Structure 1
Amino acid sequence: MSTETRDEKLANWLLAEQTARNKLAAPGSMTLAQVCELSPQEFFDGIGEGQLPCPPFGHLLDYVPIEWSAGLFVFQGSPGAQHYNPLGIVHGGYAATLLDSCMGCAIHTRLQRGQGYTTTDLRISYIRALTDKVGPIRAEGRIVHVGRSTAIAEGRIYDVDDRLYAVGSTTCMILGSPS
């Protein structure tokens, strides 16, 4: 059981996000062939250490990779007014994108050099509205199953107080064959 206070946890989250932002390279992309030359660990470590370009979509929606390991991927960001729909809350597509990203990247962590993936099914359940008052949120993806041709992952979006905002699951088709 953690003895960390809410303020300490929030400070640690904000520090982790700023540290990640400071390391990221300028937004850019690589070809699938270039990505497939790297192991998943080399790929994500390269992005996290600023040696490879930061994916432009994360820059657009203002979220960054915080943590990754085999079968796990965590992004963090703070929803803002620029993400609002006409009803004055964050558009559901923001949460869907975060979940698609963290679950897909969790699957990517378990692939082998020479393999890629694409989302074939994405299911999202929204639990509570996101606003610019929520503060930092995390989108955490975890592997459920990786087979020869498909993989399944689950994800969740939560805040520093562990309030849940959305959950999701995905099925991804595995592309290519291991090198």
Structure 2
Amino acid sequence: MQSLPPQELIALWQAQEQAMRARLAGPGTLTFAQVSALAPSEFFDGIGKGELPSPPIGTLMDFIPIEWGPGLFIFQGTPDERHYNPLGSVHGGYAATLLDSCMGCAIHTRLQAGQGYTTLDLRISYVRALNASTGPVRAEGKAVHVGRSTALAEGRLYDAEGKLYATASTTCMILGTPRTP
């Protein structure tokens, strides 16, 4: 898809976002027991179909899930003035939140029912500033390693022109015990 001209890719991204927003349920939370009782595909597909509540952080920061699969998760958001710091650019926490979310969810896609995760550390390298004219950006997380007690993932934040805004890596602690069928 990156071979499309940027304006066509932006239109495609916006159409994908609009379609997902139409399916998403309102914000809400589930307990760890409720989430970990589901296989990751059931959990994320349930959110994507509007059968489960969408995480409130997405509403607060205005980003949504776009694509997921084993070891991969992509969120999309469009930064604007609501996300600005006092210096007139998007606060670094916006990029950090999108990257932490996509990497954690990428790890989650590789877990088993009965397991969850929490971020142990988050490392970000900012490449360029985001602002209200950046347009939609995608945060793409990929699981690198999922072990018994820890997992590693990498992420990148980019726009429709392929410009890189930030990269990140994380270590997450695996919680719970896998359930046997």
Identify the TM-score tier after normalising by the shorter chain: over 0.9
C-alpha distance in structure 1 between counterparts of 2:3 and 2:178, whole Å = 44
**3-state DSSP class of the match of 1:89?**
coil
Aligned to 2:154: 154
Aligned to 1:135: 135
One-letter amino acid matched to 1:142: K
One-letter amino acid matched to 2:7: D
Note the alpha carbon deviations across 1:71-122, whole angstroms, 9 max, x for none. 0000001001000000000000110000000000000000000000000010
Q: How does 1:7-22 map to 2 (within 5 A)?
A: 7-22=7-22
C-alpha distance in structure 2 between counterparts of 1:2 and 1:169, whole Å = 23
Note the alpha carbon deviations across 1:22-49, whole angstroms, 9 max, x for none. 1100000000000011000000000011
One-letter amino acid matched to 1:169: S
One-letter amino acid matched to 1:74: I
Gap runs ≥5 in structure 1: none
Note the alpha carbon deviations across 1:125-162, whole angstroms, 9 max, x for none. 00000001000000000011111100000000000000
C-alpha distance in structure 1 between counterparts of 2:69 and 2:20, whole Å = 16
One-letter amino acid matched to 1:91: H
Aligned to 2:48: 48
C-alpha distance in structure 1 between counterparts of 2:57 and 2:16, whole Å = 20
Correspondence 1:94 to 2:94 = yes
Q: Could you tell me how far 1:6 is from its partner in structure 2?
A: 2.1
**3-state DSSP class of the match of 2:112?**
coil
Q: How does 1:59-70 map to 2 (within 5 A)?
A: 59-70=59-70
Report the aligned-residue RMSD: 1.0
C-alpha distance in structure 2 between counterparts of 1:114 and 1:15, whole Å = 35
Q: Could you tell me how far 1:70 is from its partner in structure 2?
A: 0.1
C-alpha distance in structure 1 between counterparts of 2:27 and 2:47, whole Å = 10
Q: Could you tell me how far 1:8 is from its partner in structure 2?
A: 1.6
Name the % identity: 66
One-letter amino acid matched to 1:155: G
Moved over 3 A (4+): none
Aligned to 1:83: 83
Correspondence 1:164 to 2:164 = yes
Aligned to 1:107: 107
